Structure 1
Amino acid sequence: MTAAPVIDTVPPRARFQRRVPRWKLRLSAWLPVLTTSVILLSMFIAGQTIFGNFFTSRLISSLFLDNAYLIVLAVGMTYVILTGGIDLSVGAVVAFSGIFGAELLQTGWPAIIVIPAIVLSGSVIGALVGVLVQIFEIQAFIASLAAMFLARGLAYVVSLQSIPITDPAVIWLERTRFQIGGGWFVTPTVIIALVTVLVSVWILQYTRFGRSVYAIGGNEQSARLMGLQVAKTRIAVYIISGTCAGIAGLIFAAYTGSGYSLTGIGMELDAIAAVVIGGTILTGGSGYIIGSLFGVMVYGLIEISITYIGVDSWWTKIVVGGLLLVFVVLQRVLVARPKR
């Protein structure tokens, strides 16, 4: 009597992981981030070689100051993209939250109420997108596009003109400089951005919610079979994205000293570009917050480099877009071979 053949029920991915050491798998996951960090360092070296006085503490401090709002936006976008979604509403939310807060301040509301209201306005719109995506099963692209039009329209309803912000508490966020030494400085807005990064790193790497975010992006069906709360996690992810957009609206309003309904046009694309440059895969399940931070730094450094060259502002946008495309393609080429 012949024995029944043994059927290998182990998935191919599990068999691959058995053959490959754990440290190699970790290195493969971090390779996009390492690639971005190498690109960032190369840009600093090239800028120092070409221009001189480029890699300085003042320039790096200014880089963080000028892109603090984009760092926060990229953090929120990273959550969404990790689940395989997209959020096109964040740029319009920045405009609405900023002009909404400026209008409240101008009418005499105290900053202690206005600042939370600015952040909460983004959370509400993010929750709306999450409900549309999860409960009504509308594609994230369409749901966030509708929210983008809604937020932009609300900004127009508040005011078509720029509203100046003169409240001392909001101005303090941007104009206060904490000197660290050696020319280094940070502002409260930069501190807010960096705290957002650190908190998100902890959430995604060391909490059950963070593991659920990665699991949903990797394979939603498997996440459901594992008993993960897919619906709550996805809605929470869009709430986080909207909240980050509200915080970015506050930072940008403090940065410009005003609220304006036309603020943030195309800002959502800047955030997506920074996240992708930072190594997060658009299909979800792979990426790191630190990579998104490096992506924002690369993006900001490109703009600074073009300014140093002295190219016309319209050509600056064209060159920035071309260089971003080159970086993304280069990163994908470098990462694809080790993955195979």
Structure 2
Amino acid sequence: MTSVPVTTEKAPTGVVRRFLSRRASWVPVFAAVVLLVVIFAAAQAYFGNILTPRVISALLLDNAYLFILAVGMTFVILTGGIDLSVGAVMAFTGMFGASLMRDGMPSAAVVPIMLLLGAAFGLAIGVLVQYFDVQPFIASLAAMFAARGLAFMVSLDSIKVEDGAILWLQSTRLQAGVGSWYITPTGIIALLVVLVGALVLAFTRFGRTIYAIGGSEQSARLMGLPVVRTKLLAYVVSGVCAGLAGVVFTAYTGASYPLNGIGTELDTIAAVVIGGTLLTGGSGYVVGSMIGVFVYGTIKTVISFLGADQSWTRISIGALLLMFVVVQRVIVARSNRR
């Protein structure tokens, strides 16, 4: 009797395939991590001073508001929606808050008002989408125009912020570890928002319902899930994040201007998509969105080091966005075949 040799050469391939089939939603996140590492490695090889505590700490400092916006946008996109108003809402809440502080109102009262204004915009978009069957693109576009117009109604000129508590959020640099590592209160706020967003999506019924709605809203309704309430809350979360970003961006610039945040909604969407969240909803992670913001911030930093025009940032992000959308389509197609 002839024995047949047993080979295990294909075992690693089988393990990889099983992992990819069970964790397909993480593939775009890993791709974003690999992209970030490649950008850092190439920039370090070219400049020699990118991977320094000062530069990396500045990435979080300069993009803290974008981290916050990306968390809120992740919630909305996971439901299959979109929110184009976040940049304008950030500008309006910043203008309104700055005007109140200029008139003598303390920041302890102004900040909650800014958050409530952001929540109101988010709720208005959610109501239009859910109860009036308006497409999220149109509803959020209307809110964007409304918020931008209200920002101009507050003032046509820049409003300087002189409140010590708001300025403290940006001016204070807390040393982190040895060397030149540092973090600001705005950076801490951004990281806390990312942490809370990730925990909510991963471990709460609200988070699981968001994924279910994005996967199939009709199936979520048949399962008896609170679809209406969850979609409304998703837009409210995005609005609150926009209001909080208004606080952080006001602290970052030390002033508010009605033209602040133009194009920020597109940067936010690009960061979220690059981080692996499907535009069709149902798949994505807040951690991935954070990686996407780091990719965006790193590209912007590299272009600044090159001394090139910042328009190249838009070109680079546009190319990456197209690439990641193609990757997403491939993943969705393979999932459908399974």
RMSD (Å) for aligned C-alpha atoms: 1.9
Aligned pairs for 1:1-340 (under 5 A) are 23-181=19-177, 182-313=179-310, 315-325=311-321, 327-328=323-324, 331-332=327-328, 335=331, 339=335
**Contact 2:61–2:184 (8 Å) recurs in 1:** yes
1:139-178 deviations in Å (ceiling 9; x for gaps): 1111111111111111011000000001000000001111
Q: CA 1:235–1:60 in structure 2 vs 1: closer, same or farther (change >3 Å)? A: same
**Contact 1:28–1:338 (8 Å) recurs in 2:** no
TM-score, structure 1 normalization: 0.90
1:98-153 deviations in Å (ceiling 9; x for gaps): 00000000000011101111111101111111111111111111111111111111
Q: Report deviation, 1:194.
A: 0.4
Q: CA 1:297–1:111 in structure 2 vs 1: closer, same or farther (change >3 Å)? A: same
Q: Percent identity?
A: 56
**Contact 2:123–2:235 (8 Å) recurs in 1:** yes
Letter in 1 for 2:135: Q
1:196-237 deviations in Å (ceiling 9; x for gaps): 000011100111000000000000000001000000000000
Q: d(CA) in 1 for partners of 2:325 and 2:270?
A: 12
Q: d(CA) in 2 for partners of 1:209 and 1:238?
A: 13
Letter in 1 for 2:198: V
**Contact 2:296–2:317 (8 Å) recurs in 1:** no
Unmatched segments (≥5 aa) in structure 1: 1-19
Q: Report deviation, 1:324.
A: 2.9
Q: Report deviation, 1:55.
A: 1.0
Q: CA 1:330–1:309 in structure 2 vs 1: closer, same or farther (change >3 Å)? A: farther
**Contact 2:273–2:321 (8 Å) recurs in 1:** no
Helix, strand or coil for the counterpart of 1:54? coil
Helix, strand or coil for the counterpart of 2:23? helix
**Contact 2:74–2:286 (8 Å) recurs in 1:** yes
Q: CA 1:25–1:64 in structure 2 vs 1: closer, same or farther (change >3 Å)? A: same
**Contact 1:303–1:320 (8 Å) recurs in 2:** no
**Contact 2:270–2:317 (8 Å) recurs in 1:** no
Q: Report deviation, 1:312.
A: 2.6
Letter in 2 for 1:39: L
Q: Report deviation, 1:333.
A: 7.6
Unmatched segments (≥5 aa) in structure 2: 1-15
Letter in 1 for 2:301: I
Q: d(CA) in 2 for partners of 1:322 and 1:127?
A: 30
Helix, strand or coil for the counterpart of 1:199? helix
Aligned residues: 320
